[in-house]
Amino acid sequence: MKYLYGPVASRRLGFSLGVSLTPYKTCDFDCLYCQLGQTTNKTKERLAYVSIDDIFDELKTWFQNNTDQAKQLNFITLSGCGEPTLHTELGTLILRIKEHFSVKVALITNSSYLNHPSVRNAIISADLIVPSLDAATQEIFEKVDRPVPGIRIEEVIDGLISLRKEFKGKLWLEVMLVKGINGDIGHVRRLQKVIEKINPDKIQLNSPVRSTAEPNILPVGKNKLVKIKEILGEKCEVL
Ligand code: SF4
């Protein structure tokens, strides 16, 4: 299979079949902690990077050949090895999946395009959106996520706030904290104020434990994560 991976069992999503909508590491961010390594195609250009028909054909084949696993699936997850909202036909794919398969659709996104009404409209039919937000200030945003120049954290935050108002499904905000970059308590308090405005259903706190794009990326210690969880409130869970 070229576009599908898994299914994998994850604590967050249960049993999930992944779909990749972009070529390897096509992303408008180059996060310090990215488990896929450094971004090799750093772009904010939105294109039909891969054929939606080809993805759909792979899905049909997978469902035909894996009837037992298909019954256990919790989600078809749109994510993969780049930023899925860079694909211009993401909305069409979500609708086709919803029409043909009785499995929930989850979208994992870095949130960069959520301030575009057309992108929010395209993803509105998903069942679960897991957007990320790692910074409350432009300075920290640029350090941790290393976005394409021109992407402003205020606009990312505005997009998240708008999405919450328009989207009726579940919204689980992921926050990845890197020691010495965005994990200090002062910054977390600023994040907490922003997250309060976004009002997600859940806040999922994470810290890098596997291999990362850059060497010497350290996780925030467990005790500190517990303290940060208290600051972020009862919706917060540590992954
Ligand atoms: S947004 Fe996701 S795919 Fe892109 S660099 Fe960051 S972690 Fe990697």
The closest-lying atom of ligand 1 relative to the alpha carbon of residue 30 is 5
In sequence order, the 6+-apart residues with CB closer than 8 A to the CB of 91 are: 121, 122, 123, 125
**DSSP-based three-state secondary structure for 20:** strand
**Residue 149: predicted pLDDT:** 97
**DSSP-based three-state secondary structure for 178:** strand
Q: Do 118 and 86 meet the contact criterion of CB atoms below 8 Å apart?
A: no
The closest-lying atom of ligand 1 relative to the alpha carbon of residue 145 is 6
Whole-model pTM: value is: 0.96
**Residue 210: predicted pLDDT:** 75
User: What distance in angstroms lies between residue 82's CA and the mean position of ligand 1's atoms?
Assistant: 6
**Residue 215: predicted pLDDT:** 77
- End-to-end CA distance of the chain, in Å? 29
Residues near ligand 1 (Cβ within 6 A):
27, 29-31, 34, 36, 39, 82-83, 110
Per-residue pLDDT of the chain (239 residues; tens, 9 = 90+): 899 998 999 888 999 999 999 999 999 999 999 999 999 999 999 999 999 999 999 999 999 999 999 999 999 999 978 999 999 999 999 999 999 999 999 999 999 999 999 999 999 999 999 999 999 999 999 999 999 999 999 999 999 999 999 999 999 999 999 999 999 999 999 999 999 999 999 999 999 877 777 777 888 898 999 999 999 999 999 98
Query: Residue ranges of the alpha helices (H) in the chain?
Result: 52-65, 67-72, 90-100, 117-123, 138-144, 153-166, 185-198, 222-232
Split into its structural domains, the chain has a count of 1
Residue nearest to atom 3 of ligand 1 (CA): 82
Range of the domain at 134: 4-238
Q: Helix count (H) and strand count (E) of the chain?
A: 8, 10
We report the CATH number of the domain holding residue 18 as: 3.20.20.70
Q: Do 30 and 81 meet the contact criterion of CB atoms below 8 Å apart?
A: no
d(CA 32, CA 76): 27
CA atoms within a 13 Å half-sphere pointing along the CA-CB vector of 84: 27
In sequence order, the 6+-apart residues with CB closer than 8 A to the CB of 142 are: none
Tokens 């897991």 belong to 130
**Residue 208: predicted pLDDT:** 86
The closest-lying atom of ligand 1 relative to the alpha carbon of residue 39 is 5
User: What distance in angstroms lies between residue 43's CA and the mean position of ligand 1's atoms?
Assistant: 12
